[in-house]
Structures are given as structure tokens and as C-alpha cells.
């Protein structure tokens, strides 16, 4: 496949690829390029136009030509940067150009750490493949294994999968042919390592052919993925960073914080949600138990919310994910499972009820709002007086937050109302105790212990948020 833009050839032919790509990625000049810069097949170009993909994002402008030219790639990019199209479009074009036959087996595999991200990648590929005769399949835990095996037999050219389920099929399903694999994509590689897929990933690499192109995408480049990098690439990859945590620009997001006492959080959250009826809001909590408790509490006071967390069964998580995506206005309570990689359209408010356990998660959370060139949104972090140091940490990493002020005269009344409600509801009271314990455990294990010091917490005032009275 030929490229129409000579500039890309110069980038690729440069001996110091990494340096020049990083410099170009930091600038905005490449965002002026469109998909017409590439000689795409008519089937792909028609669909790209239908889906309103016009100008390339920075990661697409740098990553697509590299992948087309066959380079192994290691890319660091934030959530919402357009990374899925970066590997999807070249993969589809390669398979189309090769006139891939079903009997050749699987040509491309996309590994993702969560079932939600796997689903999202699957549906993006389905959308892009509308006019192509290329089958895409999905393997993930919680799905019917026999159904997956049946689909393998029909001929799946592209697979989106979670590591555990893919490994299962590689070991046990003879119909899954991967000896001719062309491209392996590892999406959210750092997250794969964080949630314990290291051994599965290494086993998968051993079962896949070495003669393949490998694309690895990661929001952050940490020590945890060094072994994964060494194992997955047969040669040194081209590295580039786009909108990393230190150079990110979020002009469409008004980032703010509010300092409040431990027993004022719930009342303020209720107030904000009521004032933003008709909008899409995501509220982040530090644990599954907190999501379960607060979603149940809000529904009991006639505030409709959806909840998404890791303890839900897969069918429930899938249902909530698509329900929220398709809603024009809705409230979603969730853990960080919803922050990494998932693309929720046009969120108005991101509220962080608890500061992220890992500070790097801050960028993933705010990446849920203000999406696209015209998207605008607000991000708000609830901060205890003892946590002011977290603002300095964010500033050091390039995030300057504005203080948002809210009237809180009704908060104590709301606390009293919630307390009375919980006294009458055994189920809610039980959930509240479990949520309180989970919050304390999460707080004690925070990455920044010098800022998030559990000994500085007023446990009695915090317990009020959970309907408890700790003496």
C-alpha cells in the first residue's frame, strides 16, 4: 500500500524514529491530515466517511503509516486519543490487500484486559467491516464457550479477546488456526499487567508465531510492562508517545476540585446530580462495595442511577455499558473499570467521589468527558482538607485544577434524612457497613501514603456517609 504523503516516509526512514516521532506527536501539525492521505480500499473509505471519521488524531497520524509499513510499535497514549482506529484501519486494509482466505485461519488478534474493552473493540471492528467480507469474533470470560467454538469453525479472521479465554482456546481448540497470524495488538498493556494477566500473556506469546507484527498500546510506560515488552517483541519496536501524562492538553475539560469535610460528600453529590438533570454524569468510587451501596441508596431516594463494577456478572456489565452509551442523559456510578479504555460518548460531568487510588488514573477518569473537537465537559474531584497535597501532585504533572464552590447549607439536612432511611432498611445498612470497610481499606493502600494518610481521617464523620455511627 502506498502513502500519498512524503512526510510520513521521512519519519519512518529516519534512524532515530523514536525521537522524531515523539517530537512530531507533541505538536498539533499532524491533526490536519485526513484519511484521504492514505490509499485505502473503497470499502474502507466509504465506511470511514459514513462514520464521520475525517481528520486524524495525533496517534493516528503517526501510528497508521508506521503500521502500514510493517513496523512493530510501542505507543503511549491517553484514553480518548483515537488509538482503536490506529490499529483497526491498517489491520483491515492488510487483510483486504492479502485477499485473506478463511482456510488460512486468523490474521489478526486484539488482546484487551477487560471484557468491556474487548466488547468495545469488537463492535468498532464490526462497524468498520460493514462492506468487507471479513469475519470478526469475540472471546471473553463469562460468554458461552461452546458458542465461541462454533464461531471459530465458521472462520474468524479477526479476534478480539481477553487473555484468559484466548489462552483457553489456543490450548484446547484445534479449529483455531493461528500459524499464519499477521498482527497481534495488545491494548491497555499496562492494565493487563496490573490485573494479573502476566502468566497468561507469556503463554499466549509462546503459542503464537514469531513472524508477526506486534502493536502494543499503553496509557503509561511502567516497570511492570518491561518484561511484557521484552517477551512480546521479536525486534526493537518504534516507540512514540502521544499526549502522555506530562504533555497532555485537555482544553475542552474544565477541571476543578472542591474541599469539603468527610460528612459533606453525599449531600453535595445529590445536589450536583439534581442540578444536572438531562445530562450524562459519571461518578467514580474507590471500590465495588461503595458503588453497590451508593447506587442502592440513590435509587431508594428516587434518583435513577446505573452502576458498573467488577463484581457484576458479565451480562449485567454488558447491559449497563450499552444502556449508558445509548442514553442521552443518565447517571453512572462506577469503579475505575470504566475509566480504562472504554469510550463513553459525550459525558457532561466526571465526579470523583474519591481521589484515584493510583494518581495516574486521574487522566483516565477525566478522559471520559469533553470528547472530540466540539466536546465540552467538567471534571470535579472531592478533596478532604487533609488531601490538599494531591492538588500539588497533579500540578507537578501538568494538571492545574480550579476550585469549584458549592452552597452546602442543605447537606446536614440530607445527612439526617439518609441516616433515618438507613435505620429503617437493613439491606442498605448492611451495604453501608461493607462500603465503609472497603473505603478504609482502599485508603490505607493508597499510592501516595504521605498525602492520603488514614491516621488523619475523622472516622466518625466519614462513617456518616455510609449511614453508620462509629463511636
User: Using one digit for the tens of pLDDT, what is the confidence trace for 392-408?
Assistant: 888 887 778 999 988 76
Is the pLDDT assigned to residue 181 strictly greater than 60? yes
Chain mean pLDDT for the chain: 82
- Distance, in Å, from the CA atom of 463 to the CA atom of 432, rounded to the nearest integer, reads 9
Q: Tell me, yes or no, if the pTM score tops 0.75.
A: no
Among 157-166, 172-181, 420-429, the minimum mean pLDDT is found in: 420-429
pLDDT band of residue 3 (cuts 50, 70, 90) is: very low
| Segment 85-106 mean pLDDT | 93
Please, are residues 404 and 258 in contact by the beta-carbon 8 Å criterion? Answer: yes
Residue 304: the pLDDT is 94
Residue 404: the pLDDT is 92
- Distance, in Å, from the CA atom of 454 to the CA atom of 467, rounded to the nearest integer, reads 20
Please, are residues 224 and 193 in contact by the beta-carbon 8 Å criterion? Answer: yes
DSSP 214-254: EEEEESS--GGGHHHHHHH-SSPPEEEEES-TTT---TTEE
pLDDT band of residue 28 (cuts 50, 70, 90) is: very low
Nearest to residue 53, comparing CAs of 185, 64, 245? 64
Residue 171: the pLDDT is 94
Is the pLDDT assigned to residue 77 strictly greater than 50? yes
133 vs 19, higher pLDDT: 133
H-run or E-run covering 24: helix 17-26
- 381 backbone dihedrals φ, ψ, rounded to 5°: -110, 130
56 vs 247, higher pLDDT: 56
Which pairs with CB-CB distance under 8 Å and at least 24 residues apart come from 325-328? 327/280, 328/278, 328/280
Residue 11: the pLDDT is 33
Residue 7: the pLDDT is 34
Q: Cell match 474541599: residue?
A: 259
Q: Where are the domains of the chain?
A: 6-242, 253-465
Q: pLDDT > 70: what percent of the chain?
A: 82
For the domain spanning 6-242, the CATH number is 3.40.50.300
pLDDT band of residue 168 (cuts 50, 70, 90) is: very high
Topology at the third CATH level for domain 253-465: Rossmann fold (3.40.50)
Q: What are the grid coordinates assigned to 301, written together?
A: 431516594
pLDDT band of residue 222 (cuts 50, 70, 90) is: low
User: Using one digit for the tens of pLDDT, what is the confidence trace for 429-452?
Assistant: 899 999 999 999 989 888 888 899
CB-based contacts of 178: which residues, under 8 Å, 6+ apart?
105, 106, 109, 170, 207, 208, 209
- Distance, in Å, from the CA atom of 114 to the CA atom of 106, rounded to the nearest integer, reads 21
Q: What are the grid coordinates assigned to 428, written together?
A: 442498605
Helix extents (H) in 38-141: 42-50, 58-68, 83-97, 115-128
User: Using one digit for the tens of pLDDT, what is the confidence trace for 325-383?
Assistant: 888 899 999 998 755 666 677 788 999 998 886 666 787 787 666 554 446 788 999 99
Residue 340: the pLDDT is 63
**Maximal CA-CA distance, the chain:** 72
User: Using one digit for the tens of pLDDT, what is the confidence trace for 263-316?
Assistant: 888 889 998 998 898 899 999 999 999 999 999 999 998 999 999 988 888 778
CB-based contacts of 288: which residues, under 8 Å, 6+ apart?
309, 310, 311, 335, 438
Residue 17: the pLDDT is 34
CA distances from residue 422 to 229, 287, 370, 428, 429 in whole angstroms, order as listed:
50, 20, 36, 6, 5
Do 253-465 and 6-242 have the same topology in CATH?
yes
User: Using one digit for the tens of pLDDT, what is the confidence trace for 379-393?
Assistant: 999 999 999 999 988
Residue 273: the pLDDT is 92
- Distance, in Å, from the CA atom of 338 to the CA atom of 116, rounded to the nearest integer, reads 8
Beta strands in 302-403 (DSSP E): 306-308, 330-334, 349-352, 377-383, 402-403
Q: What are the grid coordinates assigned to 413, written together?
A: 439536612
CB-based contacts of 399: which residues, under 8 Å, 6+ apart?
255, 362, 363
Task: Tell me how far the alpha carbon of residue 145 is from its chain's centroid.
Answer: 25
Among 146-150, 181-185, 268-272, 393-397, the minimum mean pLDDT is found in: 393-397
Is the pLDDT assigned to residue 101 strictly greater than 60? yes
Q: What are the grid coordinates assigned to 57, written together?
A: 488524531
Nearest to residue 318, comparing CAs of 176, 459, 140, 147? 140
- Distance, in Å, from the CA atom of 463 to the CA atom of 262, rounded to the nearest integer, reads 8
Residue 267: the pLDDT is 87
- 19 backbone dihedrals φ, ψ, rounded to 5°: -65, -50
Amino acid at each position: 500500500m502506498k502513502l500519498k504523503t512524503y512526510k510520513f516516509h521521512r519519519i519512518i526512514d529516519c534512524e532515530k524514529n523514536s525521537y522524531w516521532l515523539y517530537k512530531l506527536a507533541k505538536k498539533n501539525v499532524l491533526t490536519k491530515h485526513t484519511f484521504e492521505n492514505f490509499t485505502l480500499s473503497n470499502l474502507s473509505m466509504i465506511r470511514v466517511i459514513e462514520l464521520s471519521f475525517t481528520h486524524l488524531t495525533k496517534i493516528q497520524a503517526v501510528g497508521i503509516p508506521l503500521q502500514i509499513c510493517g513496523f512493530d510499535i510501542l505507543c503511549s497514549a491517553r484514553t480518548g486519543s483515537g488509538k482503536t482506529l490506529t490499529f483497526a484501519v491498517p489491520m483491515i486494509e492488510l487483510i483486504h490487500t492479502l485477499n485473506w482466505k478463511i482456510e488460512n485461519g486468523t490474521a489478526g488478534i486484539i488482546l484487551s484486559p477487560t471484557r468491556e474493552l474487548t466488547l468495545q473493540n469488537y463492535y468498532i471492528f464490526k462497524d468498520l467491516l460493514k462492506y468487507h467480507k471479513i469475519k470478526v469474533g469475540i472471546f471473553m470470560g463469562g460468554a458461552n464457550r461452546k458458542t465461541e467454538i462454533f464461531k471459530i469453525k465458521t472462520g474468524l479472521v479477526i479476534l478480539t479477546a481477553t487473555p484468559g479465554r484466548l489462552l483457553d482456546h489456543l490450548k484446547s481448540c484445534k479449529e483455531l488456526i493461528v500459524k499464519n497470524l499477521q498482527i497481534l495488538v495488545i491494548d491497555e498493556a499496562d492494565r493487563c499487567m496490573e490485573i494479573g494477566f502476566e502468566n497468561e500473556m507469556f503463554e499466549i506469546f509462546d503459542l503464537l508465531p514469531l513472524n508477526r507484527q506486534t502493536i502494543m498500546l499503553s496509557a503509561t510506560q511502567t516497570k511492570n510492562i518491561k518484561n511484557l515488552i521484552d517477551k512480546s517483541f521479536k525486534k526493537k519496536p518504534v516507540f512514540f508517545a502521544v499526549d502522555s501524562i506530562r504533555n497532555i492538553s485537555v482544553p475542552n475539560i474544565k477541571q476543578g476540585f472542591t474541599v469539603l469535610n468527610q460528612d459533606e460528600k453525599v449531600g453535595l453529590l445529590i445536589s450536583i446530580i439534581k442540578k444536572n438533570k438531562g445530562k450524562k454524569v459519571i461518578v467514580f468510587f474507590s471500590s465495588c462495595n461503595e458503588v453497590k451501596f451508593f447506587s442502592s441508596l440513590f435509587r431508594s431516594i428516587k434518583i435513577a442511577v446505573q452502576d458498573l463494577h467488577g463484581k457484576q456478572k458479565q451480562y449485567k456489565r454488558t447491559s449497563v455499558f450499552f444502556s449508558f452509551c445509548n442514553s442521552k442523559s443518565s447517571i453512572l456510578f462506577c469503579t475505575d473499570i470504566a475509566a480504562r479504555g472504554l469510550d463513553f460518548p459525550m459525558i457532561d460531568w466526571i465526579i470523583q467521589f474519591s481521589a484515584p487510588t493510583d494518581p495516574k488514573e486521574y487522566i483516565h477518569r477525566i478522559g471520559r468527558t469533553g470528547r472530540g473537537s466540539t466536546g465540552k465537559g467538567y471534571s470535579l474531584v472531592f478533596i478532604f482538607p487533609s488531601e490538599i497535597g494531591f492538588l500539588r501532585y497533579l500540578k507537578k504533572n501538568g494538571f492545574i485544577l480550579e476550585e469549584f464552590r458549592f452552597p452546602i447549607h442543605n447537606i446536614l439536612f440530607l445527612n439526617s434524612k439518609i441516616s433515618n432511611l438507613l435505620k429503617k432498611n437493613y439491606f442498605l445498612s448492611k451495604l453501608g457497613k461493607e462500603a465503609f470497610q472497603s473505603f478504609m481499606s482502599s485508603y490505607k493502600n493508597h499510592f501516595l501514603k504521605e498525602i492520603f494518610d488514614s491516621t488523619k481521617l475523622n472516622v466518625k464523620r466519614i462513617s456518616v456517609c455510609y449511614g453508620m455511627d462509629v463511636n
